[in-house]
């Protein structure tokens, strides 16, 4: 298998889990009576940031806001593509104030921000890869938002139907391995409708397929820089498969965030200039 995969430096936006907690239930992983170790969560998050910086990536931070326990999941805040920001409009009322907090950061950083009219949860359901934006629907982001994304960016949007509520966002069931000329993905087929599985198989015939065990340990909520894959340690089968394809797994434990249905990618917004 190739050992010449080249990483591309990335710019990430993250939010410290200063106020992280499970205070409500908006996905099957969340239980308000769950005991969250905030100190452990902060240590795990810091380890992720350290891993990104150790591999040459730039990390910006947005100030967390009290009473927004899910603001740590920065990926849901927007899709940033070619220096343009398509903001968020959350399905759950509890999370809607996050949109304003992130919009404030983006504007202060010099970006204009488009506010969607339809429910849209940023990179949670919008995944740029190659010539397309893969767009999830079924539980959060609506098909109407997919049309808004295509009109805003002028990039073909491929709608994918999610069918298992445990994989409520696209980024829990699929991630991009390489978005260059040989764009490729990893995904868990059973998270998608039959038609969507056929679309993915046609677009990405060489995709890396994950097992049920990989998916349920948040192995698909990973971040790749084209060579290094920041991945949940328990997704061992997927890590082995990636290594055989020439990628270098970088295990980072974010298990405390799994209690809220999130992981590595959920905590990571990519700013594409």
Instruction: Look up 258 and say whether it is catalytic.
Output: no
Contact 110, 138 (CB under 8 A): no
Residue 31: active-site member: no
Q: Cβ neighbours of residue 81 under 8 Å, at least 6 residues apart?
A: 128, 133, 153, 155, 272
Backbone angles phi, psi at 58, to 5 degrees: -90, 135
Given the residues 15, 120, 266, 267, the one annotated as active site: 266
**Strand 184-187 to strand 79-81: parallel, antiparallel, or no bridges (unpaired)?**
unpaired
User: Is 124:76 a contact under the CB 8 Å cutoff?
Assistant: yes
**Catalytic entry in 57, 169, 228, 258:** 169
Catalytic residues: 169, 266
């Amino acid at each position: 298998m190739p050992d010449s995969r080249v990483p591309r430096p990335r710019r990430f936006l993250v939010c410290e889990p200063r106020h992280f907690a499970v205070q409500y239930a908006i996905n099957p992983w969340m239980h308000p009576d769950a005991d969250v170790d905030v100190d452990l969560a902060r240590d795990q998050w810091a380890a992720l940031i350290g891993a990104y910086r150790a591999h040459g990536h730039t990390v910006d931070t947005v100030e967390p806001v009290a009473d927004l326990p899910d603001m740590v999941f920065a990926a849901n805040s927007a899709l940033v593509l070619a220096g343009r920001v398509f903001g968020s409009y959350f399905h759950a009322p509890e999370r809607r104030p996050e949109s304003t907090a992130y919009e404030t950061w983006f504007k202060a950083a010099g970006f204009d921000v488009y506010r969607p009219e339809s429910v849209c949860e940023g990179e949670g359901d919008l995944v740029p890869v190659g010539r397309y934006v893969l767009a999830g629907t079924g539980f959060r982001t609506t098909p109407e938002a997919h049309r808004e994304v295509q009109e805003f960016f002028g990039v073909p949007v491929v709608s994918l139907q999610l069918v298992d509520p445990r994989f409520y966002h696209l980024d829990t069931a699929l991630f991009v391995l390489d978005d260059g000329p040989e764009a490729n993905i990893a995904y868990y087929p059973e998270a998608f409708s039959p038609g969507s599985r056929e679309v993915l198989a046609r677009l990405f015939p060489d995709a890396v397929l994950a097992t049920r065990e990989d998916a349920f340990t948040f192995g698909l909520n990973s971040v790749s820089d084209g060579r290094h894959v920041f991945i949940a340690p328990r997704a061992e089968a997927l890590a082995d498969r990636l290594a055989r394809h020439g990628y270098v797994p970088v295990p980072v434990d974010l298990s405390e965030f799994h209690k809220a249905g999130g992981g590595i990618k959920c905590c990571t917004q990519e700013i594409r200039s």
